[in-house]
């Protein structure tokens, strides 16, 4: 064999190796993309466990993918599936892995904050929102999520300040207007609540949630006519949420008029549409209590707690029934449960005052 032939075979061998190497890279990238696409398909089918498995399979080929953002996105997407399954620690582990790859990627901070909001870890949500905002100070998603966490911790004024800063950049932000309405509602500033819910409705006349909430604000004004018009409009815009509307008419309008029989009619309609609506049973129980039907009240409140054993409002109402029956120990036990499940943080000081009065 000549030297020239030797050279030719050597070059051919090198070419085969190079082609094999290139094919291996393309195949790995194809596998990464393929498993991501399969994961997305399962996600669309709401088969989250299968989606997680496919995202995990895609990540087995991460070392062959040059685009770090694509790898980070896969971790983010797998974490999002875990959030929906309430596997919050697993989700946070995924987001931390993504941060190792792209610590400047703002989507990771958004995902971490959303997970903390879902798990009600509001302090951590605020902390990580701030970390993300240190990278991108005007990120609207992070600012909105931070405002939401502040609202949940009753720091309404801080939340309002952030939301106003969003409106300075985008006066047509329906989300910011709606959140402002909610914060003013929580502060019992009904004028401002109506103002910002109205702005949200002007920006989106199909915003049924703002109609529901503006109706509540009107009810607090004792403007029952506009309250009912708004709530019924919300029910028309989304007929699947009629049960919320009936409950709101009963609780915010009928209760304010002391029309407890009329309230029960509304709660009956809400329960007929959603038999698992714990608040409707709780509210109907309170209406029965006010009509002197303590047995009926007890049954409804126990049903409410069977559906949600962390319903602080139901524990408070059940305690009131026991107080009426002069069953002090039962009353105190339920008041303590109401307090432990956050009644004061979510509502007001009524449980705290009842504990002082009846359970010294």
- Number of CB atoms found within 10 A of residue 111's CB: 25
How far is Cα 129 from Cα 111, in angstroms, rounded to an integer? 10
Give the pLDDT confidence score for residue 64 in this predicted structure.
85
Burial label for 15, CB within 10 Å (0-12, 13-18, 19+), is exposed
pLDDT along the chain (360 residues), means of 10: 44 42 48 93 94 95 91 96 96 97 97 96 97 96 96 94 96 95 95 97 96 96 94 96 96 95 98 97 97 96 96 95 94 94 85 90
How far is Cα 221 from Cα 240, in angstroms, rounded to an integer? 27
Long-range contacts of 125-130 (CB under 8 A, 24+ apart): 125/149, 126/150, 126/153
Give the pLDDT confidence score for residue 11 in this predicted structure.
46
Q: Coil, helix or strand for 337?
A: helix
Give the pLDDT confidence score for residue 61 in this predicted structure.
93
- HSE at residue 291, side-chain half, CA atoms within 13 A, is 18
End-to-end CA distance of the chain: 106
How far is Cα 332 from Cα 335, in angstroms, rounded to an integer? 5
How far is Cα 31 from Cα 310, in angstroms, rounded to an integer? 45
Q: CATH topology for 23-152?
A: 1.25.40
Give the pLDDT confidence score for residue 15 in this predicted structure.
45
Instruction: Please give the C-alpha separations between residue 258 and each of 71, 169, 190, 262, in angstroms, as whole numbers.
Output: 59, 45, 21, 9
Out of 3.40.630.30, 1.25.40.10, 3.30.70.3040, 1.10.3720.10, the CATH code matching 154-217 is 1.25.40.10
Torsion of Cα atoms, 305 then 306 then 310 then 312, to 10°: 0
Q: Residue 277, by phi and psi: left (phi above 0), alpha (psi -120 to 50) or beta?
A: beta
Give the closest residue to 318 by CA, choosing from 343, 335, 341: 335
How far is Cα 332 from Cα 316, in angstroms, rounded to an integer? 10
The structure's pTM equals 0.79
- Please tell me if the domain spanning 23-152 has the same topology as the one spanning 154-217: yes
Domain boundaries, the chain: 23-152, 154-217
Give the pLDDT confidence score for residue 345 in this predicted structure.
77
Long-range contacts of 41-47 (CB under 8 A, 24+ apart): 43/77, 43/81
Give the closest residue to 205 by CA, choosing from 230, 228, 224: 230
How far is Cα 284 from Cα 115, in angstroms, rounded to an integer? 34
What are phi and psi for residue 333, nearest 5 degrees? -60, -45
- Number of CB atoms found within 10 A of residue 300's CB: 28
Give the pLDDT confidence score for residue 29 in this predicted structure.
55
Give the pLDDT confidence score for residue 250 in this predicted structure.
97
Give the pLDDT confidence score for residue 348 in this predicted structure.
84
């Amino acid at each position: 064999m000549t030297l020239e032939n030797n050279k030719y075979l050597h070059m051919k061998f090198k070419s085969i190796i190079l082609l094999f190497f290139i094919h291996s890279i393309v195949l790995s990238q194809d596998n990464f993309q393929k498993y991501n696409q399969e994961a997305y398909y399962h996600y669309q089918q709401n088969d989250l466990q299968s989606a997680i498995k496919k995202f995990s399979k895609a990540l087995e080929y991460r070392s062959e993918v040059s685009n770090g953002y694509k790898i980070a996105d896969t971790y983010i997407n797998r974490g999002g599936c875990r959030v929906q399954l309430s596997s919050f620690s697993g989700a946070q582990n995924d987001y931390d892995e993504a941060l190792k790859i792209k610590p400047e990627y703002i989507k990771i901070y958004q995902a971490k904050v959303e997970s903390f909001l879902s798990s009600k870890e509001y302090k951590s949500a605020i902390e990580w929102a701030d970390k993300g905002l240190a990278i991108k100070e005007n990120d609207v998603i992070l600012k909105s999520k931070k405002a939401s966490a502040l609202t949940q911790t009753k720091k309404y004024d801080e939340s309002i300040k952030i939301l106003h800063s969003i409106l300075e950049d985008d006066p047509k932000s329906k989300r910011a207007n709606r959140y402002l309405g909610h914060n003013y509602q929580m502060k019992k500033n009904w004028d401002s609540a109506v103002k910002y819910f109205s702005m949200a409705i002007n920006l989106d006349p199909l915003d049924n949630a703002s109609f529901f909430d503006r109706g509540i604000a009107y009810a607090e004004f004792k403007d029952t006519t506009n309250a009912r018009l708004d709530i019924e409009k919300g029910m028309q815009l989304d007929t699947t949420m009629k049960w919320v509307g009936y409950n709101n008419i009963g609780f915010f309008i009928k209760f304010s008029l002391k029309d407890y029989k009329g309230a029960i009619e509304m709660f009956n309609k809400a329960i007929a549409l959603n038999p698992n609506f714990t608040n409707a049973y709780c509210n109907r129980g309170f209406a029965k209590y006010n009509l002197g039907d303590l047995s009926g009240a007890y049954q409804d409140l126990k049903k409410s707690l069977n559906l949600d054993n962390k319903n602080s409002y139901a524990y408070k109402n059940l305690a009131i029934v026991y107080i009426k029956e002069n069953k002090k120990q039962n009353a105190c036990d339920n008041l303590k449960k109401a307090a432990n499940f956050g009644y004061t943080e979510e509502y007001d000081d009524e449980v705290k005052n009842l504990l002082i009065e009846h359970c010294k």
